[in-house]
Structure 1
């Protein structure tokens, strides 16, 4: 029920968790296609968790220990792997679509540290560093070597 409510509130947990742990921000929330991808994967994970609970609870209530063990193995890591593949698909589809519509910030606008790195690069390469430009180095012909012509 919580996953369904979060999808209706336009905050699917798969999108929130993935984008907060990878530091991609919240641009995906404004994009309908990206939000749809994360909605689908959130509902997929909810279906996996619900099916796992229903099947295992049935075997537990009927005291079918062997079947419960087999269900735990079959519905454990294999279904979790399937769910993680769905999350990876949604993240990749969302990132690809956001890049196509250029909603993601450019790298130099992402954070103050990246702006600093861009300015430092311009300074070192000579791309117009503003008031901190270095004077040109003297040429080697201006240096005299003692005892040499």
Structure 2
């Protein structure tokens, strides 16, 4: 009776050990290694709706920016001289999560009332990390967000 109990305990420990190793492999494979892994620059040009559909299919959605720190991380990912769609759209300027945007990083004089309904982050010498609005049907590079894949 003691031998079978000992074998049972060993089997349970072995399976538990295997389970822990599998969980560790999954976490190491899919969790970002740096905070910039949350932001994915897509080196293709698409309209804002096409970019959003692409991000939803392959990642989570277009990137939302909640503060200066996140905006700085995006500046590290977007190549210089580029404009990249972010997940902000005019409807009282809401993020893709449908929450109102309280953080603002508009370039001087923006947003304008007539130039567009979708926001792009601009990485160039004039507007380093500032946002401008563009017509949603313009094709631009874009930023996808992976944050929902890693949060509980």
Between the two structures, name the one with larger relative contact order (CA 8 Å, sep ≥ 6): 2
TM-score with structure 1 length normalisation? 0.28
* Greater Rg by CA: 1
| Structure number having the greater helix percentage | 1
TM-score with structure 2 length normalisation? 0.27
